[in-house]
Structure 1
Amino acid sequence: MSTAGKVIKCKAAVAWEAGKPFSVEEVEVAPPRDHEVRIKIVATGVCRTDAHAVSTHFKEGLFPVILGHEGAGIVESVGPGVTKVKPGDKVIPLYIPQCGECKFCLNPKTNLCEKISKIKTAISDQDLMADNTSRFTCKGKQIYHFMGTSTFSEYTVCAETSVAKIDSAAPLDKVCLIGCGFSTGYGAAINTAKVEPGSSCAVFGLGGVGLSAVMGCKAAGATRIIGIDINSDKFKKAMELGATECINPKDYDKPIQQVISEMTGGGVDFSIECIGIIDVMKAALECTTVGWGTCAIVGVSLDEHGLPVAPFHLIMGRTLKATFFGGWKSVDCVPKLVKDYLSKKFDLDSLVTFTLPFDKINEAFDLMHKGKSIRTVLVF
């Protein structure tokens, strides 16, 4: 029996308040309205940004909310006016939309889009659909959406501008990582830092995003890639994916930027920060060489203090950049990244440490917080 046009009851993880475990509930998902797409989520990755969004340190979030932004699924139905996808298509929901018409979409210098109604910190975008209503209810209460995706639900509703149609051969439990972690790290190296052949790189943080940055540095032709993490258990995987050496700041009695500078005869050509800690961002900038060193910031910090940058570092030729979704224009580039994966141009499979049933979502977050997983993928 077709579910098009009907309310669907399904399983979702609801965050009722900050700092509390997710509660797996039965929710009602309304049909898509104009230019909206209802998607059956098949798999979703667990990303630290979701943990930030329910952190007690993060004051702007709206509750209750269904989080999740690194998913993949199949179109169940479409609302009036939708032309780019149809029921049965495999898709990846996009937390950064691409309308194709605004001044940002028409400019090759950015991957932002006007459809991000609040161009501010993406993790504060726990909100509603374009018409200021929600498609989710639970126990008679309205549930907020998250980043335009809400993939911690078996069914979700997204704007058409926030959906990328992908190859029908794509394994959804792997390509879901292209919805955030992989694309962000890989693109930080290729699009933002613009790593060059023969260069030296330092990647701070060897989780899913950092390892993707390592892969990006390797793909760009870097010949020296230094991985930095306080968890040495991550070094083996980093070396497999392209790091030429790995170091643990805990092994040294001097600042890690000084260690890297001494190792490289004055600093690396490129550094990529994938943790979200202000002191690490500072170290990432300071470990680059004077004259032309480039630092790309990927991590999201909840610290209320800004990044302390000495003007002298910039005057001496260093460049500080930051990236959102790795600089990819989402609707255009996500399908191409999926094709590159299917062509074995990079290895997503190595980033998946655990694949668990969706009901074990709190266990997945525990694994992440304890540093025992690169990425855990939840499947419905």
Structure 2
Amino acid sequence: MSSTNQVIRCKAAVAWEAGKPLVIEEVEVAPPEKMEVRIKILFTSLCHTDVYFWEAKGQNPVFPRILGHEAGGVVESVGEGVTDLQPGDHVLPVFTGECKECAHCKSEESNMCDLLRINTDRGVMIHDQKSRFSINGKPIFHFVGTSTFSEYTVVHVGCLAKINPLAPLDKVCVLSCGISTGLGATLNVAKPKKGSSVAIFGLGAVGLAAAEGARISGASRIIGVDLNANRFELAKKFGVTEFVNPKDHTKPVQEVIAEMTNGGVDRSVECTGHIDAMISAFECVHDGWGVAVLVVFHIKMLFSRQVH
């Protein structure tokens, strides 16, 4: 029997309170409304941003809530006005959506859509300011428009990317956030030139993606910086040519990098969110033309500064 236009009951990991263990609950997931899509989540991963908002440190707590934003799934049904997707399509939810109509979406300079830009305090759908999740009639709030810690979720069509059905969802689900964040920070913000030097601070998933962006750009020297030496070998596969472990030096790592590169790297990309690493990323670039990009996970924004 088709589930279209019907409430679906499924399992979801619900965060009832800040910092308390998630609870697997049976939730009701309402059908999609105008410009919405209901998808069956097949794979989801955990991002530090989920942990940050689960802890509710430094921001407005919104509970009970279903977290999650890195995932891959299949379209179950579509709401009124949706023409780009149909049941059976494979999709990735993305927390930075695009309405395709506003000035930001039409500009090559920004992807901060007026309608679908990130709003971590909004726990409801844009169409009617209501949640599509509930337990015994009590609303359960959404998270950044995705809420992938559920077997089914409802997402605005502008927050979904259709992908090749042959792509393995268990692997490409990280494209929803970590990979696109790091790769985009390098390609779209740092924009290293061919033959340039780039320092990548942090060699986790985001940092490796940032290194891959530097490799794609043609950077000749890609210096990976991390406190975990076990990450260095893997990073070579993503283009990293040299490694610096701050623990191996008595002087600040920015000074080490400046000496290695005759005055500093052309670009640096900071992917840890740690204040000391941010300072080092700023101070390790060459004066006059160096650019440092800070990838700040907790609020999902990218900052860049040209250092003169």
Which of 124, 128, 140 is the aligned partner of 1:128?
124
Partner of 1:155: 152
Counterpart-to-counterpart distance in 1, 2:260 and 2:158: 46
What CA distance in whole angstroms lies between the structure 1 residues aligned with 2:298 and 2:248?
A: 25
Q: Secondary structure at the match of 1:80?
A: coil
TM-score, normalised by the number of residues in structure 1 = 0.77
Alignment partner of 2:139: what SS? strand
**1:298 alignment partner in structure 2:** 295
Q: Give the secondary structure class of the aligned counterpart of 2:38.
A: strand
1:42-191 to 2 correspondences below 5 Å: 42-116=42-116, 122=118, 124-130=120-126, 131-191=128-188
Alpha-carbon offset, residue 274 of structure 1: 0.5
Secondary structure of 1:64's match?
coil
Task: Tell me by how many angstroms 1:172 deviates.
Answer: 1.0
Question: 1:21-43, CA deviations, whole angstroms, 9 ceiling, x for partnerless residues?
Answer: 22122111111111110000111
| Residue matched to 1:272 | 269
Aligned to 2:3: 3
Query: Is contact 1:13–1:24 with CA below 8 Å preserved after alignment?
Result: yes
Listed as ranges, the gaps of 5+ residues in structure 1 are: 320-380
1:262 aligned residue: 259
8 Å CA contact 1:38–1:78 kept in 2: the answer is yes
Q: CA deviation at 1:255?
A: 1.4
**What SS does the aligned partner of 2:19 have?**
coil
Deviation at 1:265, TM superposition (A): 1.2
Secondary structure of the residue that 1:215 maps to in structure 2?
A: helix
Letter in 1 for 2:274: I
How far off its partner does 1:139 sit?
Answer: 4.7
- Cα RMSD, aligned residues only: 1.8
Question: 1:298 aligns to what SS in structure 2?
Answer: strand
Q: CA deviation at 1:124?
A: 2.5
Quick check: 1:61–1:126 contact (8 Å CA) kept in 2? Answer: no
Matches within 5 A, 1:293-372: 293-300=290-297, 318=307
Counterpart residue type for residue 294 of structure 1:
V
What whole-Å deviation, never above 9, does each CA across 1:267-290 have from its counterpart, x for those lacking one?
001100111122211210110001
Asked whether the 8 Å contact 1:52–1:58 carries over to 2, the reply is: no
Matched, 1:23 2:20: no
Q: Which amino acid aligns with 1:318?
A: V
Query: 1:231 & 1:17 partners in 2: Cα distance?
Result: 33
Conserved in 2, the CA contact under 8 Å of 1:4 and 1:76? yes
Tell me the equivalent position of 1:36.
36
What's the secondary structure of 1:254's corresponding residue?
A: coil
Give the percent of matched residue pairs that are identical in Structure 1 and Structure 2: 52
Secondary structure, in 3 states, of the residue corresponding to 1:108? coil
Equivalent position of 1:346 in the other structure: none
The 3-state SS of whatever aligns with 1:145 is: coil
1:52-71: CA deviation from partner (whole Å, max 9, x where unpaired)? 11124233130011111111
**Separation of aligned partners in 2, 1:254 and 1:193:** 26
Q: CA contact under 8 A between 2:49 and 2:298: conserved in structure 1?
A: no
Cα separation, 2, equivalents of 1:14 and 1:254: 46
Equivalents in 2 of 1:265, 1:301: separation in Å?
A: 34
> Matches of 2:295 and 2:97 in 1, distance apart?
19
Return the offset for 1:249: 1.2
| Structure 1 CA distance for aligned equivalents of residues 219 and 287 of structure 2 | 18
Aligned to 1:281: 278
Distance change >3 Å, CA 251–CA 139, structure 1 → 2: farther
TM-score (norm 2): 0.94
SS of the residue 2:41 aligns to: strand
